[in-house]
């Protein structure tokens, strides 16, 4: 049975001020919105929810909310950069999509993710369509920040800020869904403020084990290469397995779009964008796992200072390792070098 969505903004966690603005926007829409906040703060979920208030006919609002929430409505056009930047040719495709009439009664919503990654040339090409779109088209831009070259577009859009979500808010939301308190707290702490990641972690029974593996790593170091090698292999194997819940979710989403294609008789609609997002999510999920490990090590080395007054300054090593992640290092060599640089701790 299809989910009944009575409040489209109920699933947006820890963003009370933004939700107030979204409710107002649902009643009195404007031509363009700019949602600004870190990854995982709920921008994209909020954008899909708002789109569900615009697309389709008012008398069919329940269906449009459901399809928009799952990003499957034909008049919700989602654009994600295929590479590290949103390029001019992608901007040209957006301009073309914005000029076309909606498939159903209602508006067409163009949702541009990672707008902060648009090149200056792409942003310039999008300025006029965003500033003066057709009456039936609305834009929602998602950005982690507003670069100087995007300020003109930002000034033409209604901005809604999405600050980082607190651990307490994420844990409370998970508990409201029936997740046990301890599980909710561990997932919230390991999410790095990313609501979607926290929701994924509660379905991952091995998450606590991975965190314990990182926590126990310093006690396994004894100054030998054999010890370092064992820890590296154990951690890498655990992170490989950590991809499984995400892969399962991706399979479910692909099955859903295949079912939608079967019902509508439209092949390929939205599939390429979904597959592009899946690749990006898989890459980011793995990076998040490494960053969770670094955060756990930081806490582990802070413990001797708090409990015994023993000074363990590993901040430099951990900061250097975190910076190196941005350069997509060889994982085995990267982790080996880090563990060699860390002092052992008693169990």
Angle between helices 207-220 and 225-264 in degrees, nearest 10: 160
Confidence of residue 277 (pLDDT cuts 50, 70, 90): confident
**Class of domain 16-161 (CATH, top level):** alpha beta
| Other residues' Cβ atoms within 10 Å of the Cβ of residue 51 | 29
Query: Could you give the CA distance from residue 181 to residue 184 in angstroms, rounded to a whole number?
Result: 5
pLDDT in tens, 219-263: 999 999 999 999 999 999 999 998 888 888 888 888 887 877 777
User: Is residue 50 within a helix (H) or strand (E), and if so which, with residue range?
Assistant: helix 43-51
Q: Give the C-alpha distances (Å, rounded to integers) separating 258 from 9, 246, 261.
A: 27, 18, 5
- 206, pLDDT greater than 90: no
Q: Across residues 36-63, what is the average pLDDT?
A: 94
> How confident is the model at residue 250, as a pLDDT?
87
pLDDT in tens, 117-134: 999 999 999 999 999 999
- Per the listing, tokens 């490989």 go with 240
Tokens of 27: 């009643």
- Residue 83 Rama label (left phi>0; alpha psi -120 to 50; beta): beta
> How confident is the model at residue 249, as a pLDDT?
84
CB-CB contact of 322 with 305 (8 Å): no
Q: What's this model's pTM, rounded to 2 decimal places?
A: 0.76
Q: Across residues 296-323, what is the average pLDDT?
A: 76
Within the chain, which residue ranges are assigned CATH 3.40.50.300?
Answer: 16-161
**Phi, then psi, of 78 in degrees rounded to 5:** -105, 125
> How confident is the model at residue 304, as a pLDDT?
65
CA torsion 246-252-255-257 (nearest 10°) is -80
> How confident is the model at residue 171, as a pLDDT?
92
CB-CB contact of 228 with 221 (8 Å): yes
> How confident is the model at residue 310, as a pLDDT?
53
- 1, pLDDT greater than 70: no
- 4, pLDDT greater than 70: no
Closest CA to 50 of 72, 29, 36, 31: 29
Closest CA to 252 of 272, 226, 278: 278
Q: Across residues 152-167, what is the average pLDDT?
A: 95
Query: Could you give the CA distance from residue 300 to residue 323 in angstroms, rounded to a whole number?
Result: 20
If you count them, how many residues does the chain have? 347
Looking only at the bridges linking them, the beta strands covering 76-79 and 158-161 are unpaired
- 312, pLDDT greater than 80: no
pLDDT in tens, 72-119: 899 999 998 887 899 999 999 999 999 999 999 899 999 999 999 999
> How confident is the model at residue 246, as a pLDDT?
85
Q: Give the C-alpha distances (Å, rounded to integers) separating 195 from 40, 270, 336.
A: 5, 24, 31
Closest CA to 184 of 206, 196, 167: 167
Query: Could you give the CA distance from residue 126 to residue 146 in angstroms, rounded to a whole number?
Result: 15
pLDDT in tens, 282-292: 888 888 899 88
> 308 vs 121, which has greater pLDDT?
121
> 33 vs 278, which has greater pLDDT?
33
DSSP 3-35: PP-S-TTTT--S-HHHHHHHHHHHHS--SEEEE
Instruction: Indicate the burial class of 15 (C-beta count within 10 angstroms; 0-12, 13-18, 19 or more).
Output: buried
**Phi, then psi, of 140 in degrees rounded to 5:** -130, 115
Q: Across residues 179-208, what is the average pLDDT?
A: 84
Q: Percent of the chain scored above 70 by pLDDT? A: 94
What is the sign, positive or negative, of the torsion defined by CA atoms of 288, 294, 299, 300? Answer: positive
> How confident is the model at residue 3, as a pLDDT?
64
- 43, pLDDT greater than 60: yes
Closest CA to 344 of 242, 261, 223: 223
Mean pLDDT estimate for the chain: 89
> How confident is the model at residue 18, as a pLDDT?
97
> How confident is the model at residue 337, as a pLDDT?
95
- 156, pLDDT greater than 60: yes
Q: Give the C-alpha distances (Å, rounded to integers) separating 332 from 239, 309, 328, 345.
A: 12, 33, 12, 22
């Amino acid at each position: 049975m299809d989910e009944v969505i009575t409040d489209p903004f109920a699933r947006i966690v820890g963003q009370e001020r933004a939700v107030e603005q979204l409710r107002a926007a649902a009643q009195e829409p404007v031509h363009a919105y700019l949602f600004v906040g870190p990854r995982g703060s709920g921008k994209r979920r909020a954008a899909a929810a708002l789109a569900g208030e615009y697309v389709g006919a008012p008398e069919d609002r329940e269906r449009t909310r459901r399809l928009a929430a799952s990003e499957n409505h034909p008049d919700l056009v989602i654009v994600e950069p295929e590479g590290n930047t949103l390029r001019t040719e992608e901007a040209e495709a957006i301009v073309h999509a914005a000029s076309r009439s909606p498939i159903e009664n209602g508006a067409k919503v163009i949702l541009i993710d990672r707008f902060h990654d648009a090149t200056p040339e792409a942003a310039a090409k999008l300025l006029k369509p965003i500033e003066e779109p057709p009456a039936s088209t609305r834009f929602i831009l998602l950005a982690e920040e507003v670069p100087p070259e995007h300020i003109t577009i930002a000034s033409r859009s209604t901005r809604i800020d999405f600050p980082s979500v607190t651990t307490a808010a994420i844990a409370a939301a998970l508990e409201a869904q029936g997740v046990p308190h301890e599980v909710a707290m561990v997932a919230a702490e390991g999410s790095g403020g990313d609501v979607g990641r926290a929701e994924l972690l509660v379905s991952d029974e091995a998450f606590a084990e991975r965190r314990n593996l990182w926590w126990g790593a310093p006690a396994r170091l004894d100054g030998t290469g054999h010890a370092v090698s064992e820890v590296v292999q154990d951690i890498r194997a655990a992170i490989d397995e950590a991809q499984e819940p995400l892969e399962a979710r991706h399979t479910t989403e692909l099955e859903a779009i295949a079912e939608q294609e079967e019902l509508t008789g439209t092949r390929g609609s939205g599939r390429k964008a979904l597959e592009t997002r899946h690749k990006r999510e898989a890459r980011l999920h793995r990076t998040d796992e490494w960053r969770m490990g670094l955060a756990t090590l930081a806490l582990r080395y802070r413990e001797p200072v708090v409990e015994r007054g023993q000074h363990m300054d590993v901040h430099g090593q951990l900061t250097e390792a975190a910076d190196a992640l941005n350069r997509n290092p060889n994982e085995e060599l990267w982790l080996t070098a880090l563990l060699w640089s860390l002092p052992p701790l008693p169990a």
